[in-house]
Structure 1
Amino acid sequence: MSNRLLADQQITDMLEGVTRNVSGMSRGEHWDNYARIYMRGSNIPAFRNGMNVSMPFGPLTEDMSMVERIEVIKGPAGFMASSGEPGGMYNVVTKKPTGVNKGEVSLTLGSYDLYRATLDLDGKLNKSGTLLGRINVMGQNKNSFRDLDYNNRYSIAPVLSYKLDDRTTLTAEYNFQYVKAQMIGANYQFSRNGWADPKIPRGQTTSAPSLEPTKTNDHNLFLNLNHQINKDWSVTAQVLFEDYKQRGASAWPVVPPDAAGFMQRGISIWDTDARNKLGQIFINGEVKTGPVVHRLLGGIDVGDKEQYADYGAYANVDTSASFNIYAPVYTATANPPAFDHSLPVSERTGDPNRYVDQNFQSYKSVFVQDELRFWQEKIRLTLAGRYTYSVDRNVNPYANTAIESKKFSPRVGLSVSVDRNTAVYGLFDQSFIPTPGYDHQKERPFIPVTGNNYEVGIKRDWFDGRWRSTVAAYTILRNNVATADPQNPTQWQVQLGQTKTRGVEVDITGQLARGWT
């Protein structure tokens, strides 16, 4: 999805329409802050500039003002370069300097009091053109069809790019996003009459004007060094540091709705501190051995992730079951006190009155891939593998244990060009995903999710390439999938043995007329 497409469709963040452009891709997020995207039966990870930035909660979904394009890969192909789900991944590529002096200002007004402004400045910072700069700034106020619901945010994303010589470029990028929104969980509706109770007002919420909002700060620093060894080979090294802080509360029923619709509301603190420290170095290029062309990729991928989440403090919103879901009055009759957010969450772990969940994850991986091209590149055979060593540790009031895992994940693919416009393909690959969290039934941290993927398909261009079609059929087996614990589904999770996903996808894209796709 190019920046032009995102602008044409007036998409402002990952949750506003990105998924409609890809078959089999759907949005599962309901809190308006961080994207939870599903594809081929699983929650696929969020990548940024080729690095897996996913957290148990977070990071913030990228505002499109800082996004150049969004790359979607189906199946675990992207796993070769960084850990990911067998269902696929999406990679957000942020805007970089182009070397062209230009600027753009946009103003957007919309329903439910949407007011949005963006600024994009790009150009050379010295006469020689060795130092380039770009900055994107955004500010937004947005309400909703839901009562009391809003999502106000601003962001700033400066980037500097310096050419050390003709073949070496260093790029430094800083992204900051701030969000102030209605408390988490207030978008849920509860009823004894099943899903989508038609008697509940469409805009109903369980929040109240006096309750504190949720505020989130997301800092992201990205450094990239690229060196072109020669016309066929290049090497890239990049690191990413992310600091994520959320301060707020979550709304849940204390007493569920009765037959008449009366319930008692409660809130619990939901503060999160999380950090990602990621690094990659990889080399890619092309060589020939007789009539065979080899396109090679190899590298190292390492990561260290930590999260502290405080769910401990609790307060009633109502003094009794007085809130009616069919005729809501949003007064907080119990007047709950504001929670104390002053200490960093990592410093609250010694307090016996707080439930602080701590997840620590680190991994080290090496990967290599060879795409062999035969018979004037009409037959393409891909052989690849990735070896990963990971350590997952979960600390909470019930446990303090760690799990070490090692896994080699292979990949084999074959693509054949039947004619100039048609290609058929088949592939088998595996994935290995370190998984944060704790299995309360087995009393251990989650073990990594592994997956096998089988896929066949056919691709064809029509009308001199103006139209393209793809038909794909796949089967995915996923082991150790986390799901709600039947004994306590609102708080705990367990890992299943195996799930199976099967599907057929048909994509047709093309140009109906000039400017109309």
Structure 2
Amino acid sequence: MKTIFTLLLLFPSFLLFAQDESTGTVRGTIAGSDGLPAANITVSITRSSWGSISNEQGKYIIRNIKPGSWTLKISAVGMATQEKKIHVAAGQTLTVDFRLKENAAALREVVVSGRNPDKVNTGVAKMPLKNLENPQVYNTVTSAILKQQAVTDYDDAMRNVPGISRTWASTGRAGDGGAYFALRGFDAQPALVNGLPGLTSGDMDPADVEEIEVLKGPSGTLFGGSFYSYGGIINTITKKPYYHFGGEAGYQFGSFGLNRVTADINTPLSSREKIAMRINTAYHSEGSFQDAGFRKSFFLAPSLVYEVNDRLSFHILTEILQEERAVPPVFFHSDRLSALPFKTIDALNLDPKLSFTSNDLTIRNPKFNLQARMEYKLSGRWTSQTVFSRGTVKSDGIYTYIWDDDSTEADHFSQYFHDEQQTTYTTDIQQNFNGDFNIGRLRNRLLLGLDFFNQHVVDNGSGWGWARNVTPQGDVNYVDPFSGDTLVPVYLTKASIDNLLAGTEPAHSNISNSSYAAYVSDVINITPGLMLMASLRADYFDSKGERSTDEDDFSQFALSPKFGLVYQPVPDKVSLFANYMNAFINVAPAEVADPDGSNPRIKSFKPEHANQWEAGVKANLFSQKLSATLSYYDIRVSNRVVPVAGNPNDQVQGGKVGSRGLELDLAAYPLEGLSLIAGYSYNHTAVIEGNDMDFYSEPGRSPGGQGPQHTANFWGTYTFHKDGLRGLGLGIGGNYAGRYKVIDNSQTGVFYLPAYTLLNASLFYEGSRFRAALNVNNLSNTEYYIGYWSVNPQKPRNFVASLSFKF
């Protein structure tokens, strides 16, 4: 690993001397009709792979252009495309500026879906690539869509992404208390912020979200094995400062006591130097559609940018969240051993209005996240990015769940409680070098990176306490399911639960682990329309386990490759792509024994791996009025640890799970003011190899948490542009989820959650400074459920009214 690190540090220097000056550069500034800088405008050279995107100062630069006559084009959703003829000479730096017909400030908040299919993305591949150049599939949800749909809950943003569905909301519990999603049949949580660790044990606040990127497929090559990423990964991109004063203040109120106040304030800090600050903040208070439950939170996210000169800049972001909630328990309606006496929601007869908790039983999930980034232009061809992040997340309070422990009566379920007292600290340091150069006639876009990640977890929580039995209709008794004795009642008060847990054995755990990684990725233009991507990560994982002992220490090494091929039969309009992608998870050693419990010993394992093959087509047609992605994927996970047949005390590595499916994503702007997005996904996930007697790994069965097989999403808005109705708009959309197998086992039987269709609508007025909107979700008041081996009722019809003022 030391050798790899050294070579990666020295490699850019070798290449700097190896390059020639046979190409040219185009740079310039893009401004709106108001003279203000226009950010996020795509700049490209037609019929080529060269392109860039304007920054917050409206500046862009395109390097390594082959000498000759070209057409330079600028484009973005919500603006008219402009083109200029240019001639580039070897060694020349050409300056080409643009002045838009549109107001730059209005473009920043353009009320359409905000998807720009021609936009250069720098985060998905950790290098500048357009969507048509990238062999990986990804979807984005922009802040414009969040505003259109009055999204106050981060999770609701995912209803705009095909192939992902929520399996349960945030529980607040330690370690993995954030919301769970099924993404291409596997677990996913929003674990990245700006491509860096951004763990949470509670809810995410959408106040500072610029866009959410959902990267599809195993993503370990660039992002490592510290985040479960077999089906993909969720990356939140935050709002960035810009160099003029502006902002927005908003208030939202609605069903179940919703009150939300937000502010987004940006200001330059110096008239002589390029320093700017942006502050996003939100206060959120909301009750529940059930008989108990609430959420109160305060969020503050200041960010700072300092552009020292044309070569050096600093970017700092801090996120602070204080959150307290009363969280309804997850209703696990099976012990995963016994035959289910009910196979449907109707047979279970769960009352969706019951929370099985009280507002006296709360959990706090404070979060702190600091990110600092230094960017430096080493030369006209090479840039350096040094990033640091530090995060702290905590679970502090009562967590509870319901479990089918009561074997005496089929409709009685045990409820357990636990006092969560866990804090997780994360530290991440990355060094990335990006180069754009030619070797002969082959253009290379090269990424070289080093990554250090440390996670430290301190747990001082209580033991688990059985409190009572409940029925799906709310009846309660205190008969111990193990002894049959009737115990003293435990009530849903803080004092009663504290008394219950006082007699349990507390946890005293202090665990630390680190990973050291080096990665390289190169995109080679064999021709302007034919591109090859080759990437590799070398990852060394070092776990110190409990700090009080070295008996549980272990280390593992993994290689994670990634390959992609893109061919554009119609340049800048259609691309055919294929990829091979990999992800991995480090597996801790386990204590095993013979069938009779004798001969205890420690067994070590290799990292678990996921491998995906995918192929499809991306299109950007009719002057960006229609963009589409269609893909087919096949993911295989190997090296899973499963119980040994005939020996419940032993485990073996060899389990396999397969996931395959089809995804379609569409965005269209057929008429002025009309914006449409839609998607469809099909997924089939099943165990390939495992243990016939194990609930979690029975071959031929669904492993759990894979989500519905069929999902579909749609959202459309229309804004009137004629006098009299100018600024008035309508929005309508919805989601479909097919029948979902939340339990699939030969011993327990199969339990289905029913299919459902949701309809949402919006009526809004958008002025130059003022916006007012009314959104109604679940318009038809559909009763529906989600789950992960569980049954979780969801919101009935609800409304959100929004008022905002821009300045």
Whether TM-score is above 0.5 comes out as yes
Candidates 84, 104, 113, aligned match of 2:248: 104
Match of 1:501 in 2: 659
Mapped pair 1:120 → 2:264: yes
Mapped pair 1:165 → 2:312: no
Match of 1:244 in 2: 393
Residues matched between the structures, number? 493
Give the secondary structure class of the aligned counterpart of 2:329.
coil
User: Structure 2 matches for 1:135-146, cutoff 5 A?
Assistant: 135-146=279-290
Contact 2:256 2:288 in 1 (8 A): yes
CA distance in 1, matches of 2:218, 2:581: 7
Candidates 664, 668, 676, aligned match of 1:510: 668
User: Structure 2 matches for 1:353-502, cutoff 5 A?
Assistant: 353-356=505-508, 358-375=510-527, 377-395=528-546, 400-420=551-571, 421-434=573-586, 439=590, 448-481=607-640, 497-502=655-660
CA distance in 1, matches of 2:605, 2:243: 47
Match of 2:138 in 1: none
Give the secondary structure class of the aligned counterpart of 1:28.
strand
CA distance in 2, matches of 1:339, 1:363: 38
**What is the CA deviation profile of residues 253-307 of structure 1, one whole-angstrom value per residue up to 9, with x for unaligned ones?**
5863864845554422222210111111101121012221111111101100122
CA distance in 2, matches of 1:486, 1:6: 49
CA distance in 1, matches of 2:402, 2:612: 40
Give the secondary structure class of the aligned counterpart of 2:356.
coil
Percentage of matched positions with identical amino acids: 21
Contact 1:439 1:494 in 2 (8 A): no
Mapped pair 1:186 → 2:336: no
Mapped pair 1:312 → 2:456: no
Equivalent residue letter for 2:155: L
Give the secondary structure class of the aligned counterpart of 1:205.
coil
Contact 2:293 2:358 in 1 (8 A): no
Equivalent residue letter for 1:94: T
Mapped pair 1:334 → 2:490: yes
Match of 1:344 in 2: none
Give the secondary structure class of the aligned counterpart of 2:145.
helix
Give the secondary structure class of the aligned counterpart of 2:308.
strand
**What is the CA deviation profile of residues 442-466 of structure 1, one whole-angstrom value per residue up to 9, with x for unaligned ones?**
8668753312111111122332321
CA distance in 2, matches of 1:265, 1:42: 27
Give the secondary structure class of the aligned counterpart of 2:505.
coil
CA distance in 2, matches of 1:43, 1:506: 21
Equivalent residue letter for 1:367: Y
CA distance in 2, matches of 1:465, 1:406: 44
Gaps of 5+ in 2: 1-140, 173-177, 335-340, 479-487, 594-601, 677-807
Mapped pair 1:325 → 2:475: no
Greater CA radius of gyration, 1 or 2?
A: 2
Equivalent residue letter for 1:510: A
**Residue 5 to residue 231, structure 1, CA distance change in 2 (3 Å):** farther
Give the secondary structure class of the aligned counterpart of 1:76.
coil
CA distance in 1, matches of 2:545, 2:645: 21
CA distance in 2, matches of 1:41, 1:250: 27
User: CA offset at residue 316 of structure 1?
Assistant: 4.9
Greater relative contact order, per chain length (Cα 8 Å cut-off, separation 6+): 2
**What is the CA deviation profile of residues 373-428 of structure 1, one whole-angstrom value per residue up to 9, with x for unaligned ones?**
022x1100111111111123544999951321112222221111112322211122
CA distance in 1, matches of 2:407, 2:543: 39
User: Structure 2 matches for 1:13-24, cutoff 5 A?
Assistant: 13-16=153-156, 18-24=157-163
Report the more deviating stretch, 188-197 or 169-178: 188-197
- The two structures have a TM-score, normalised by structure 2, of 0.56
CA distance in 1, matches of 2:645, 2:316: 47
CA distance in 1, matches of 2:142, 2:524: 29
**What is the CA deviation profile of residues 194-216 of structure 1, one whole-angstrom value per residue up to 9, with x for unaligned ones?**
45345321111221354x20111
CA distance in 1, matches of 2:169, 2:653: 23
Contact 2:171 2:399 in 1 (8 A): no
Contact 1:392 1:445 in 2 (8 A): no
**Residue 172 to residue 209, structure 1, CA distance change in 2 (3 Å):** closer
Report the more deviating stretch, 330-339 or 41-50: 330-339
Give the secondary structure class of the aligned counterpart of 1:7.
helix
**Residue 111 to residue 198, structure 1, CA distance change in 2 (3 Å):** farther
**What is the CA deviation profile of residues 204-247 of structure 1, one whole-angstrom value per residue up to 9, with x for unaligned ones?**
1221354x201111111111111123343211111110111111
CA distance in 2, matches of 1:207, 1:440: 37
Contact 2:285 2:297 in 1 (8 A): yes
**Residue 237 to residue 397, structure 1, CA distance change in 2 (3 Å):** closer
Mapped pair 1:220 → 2:378: no
Match of 2:149 in 1: 9
- The two structures have a TM-score, normalised by structure 1, of 0.85
Report the more deviating stretch, 198-207 or 256-265: 256-265
Gaps of 5+ in 1: 341-350
CA distance in 1, matches of 2:645, 2:252: 45
CA distance in 2, matches of 1:15, 1:494: 36
Equivalent residue letter for 1:149: G
CA distance in 1, matches of 2:549, 2:438: 57
User: CA offset at residue 82 of structure 1?
Assistant: 4.2
Match of 1:72 in 2: 214
Report the more deviating stretch, 5-14 or 232-241: 5-14
**Residue 173 to residue 482, structure 1, CA distance change in 2 (3 Å):** farther
Give the secondary structure class of the aligned counterpart of 1:155.
strand
User: CA offset at residue 433 of structure 1?
Assistant: 3.1
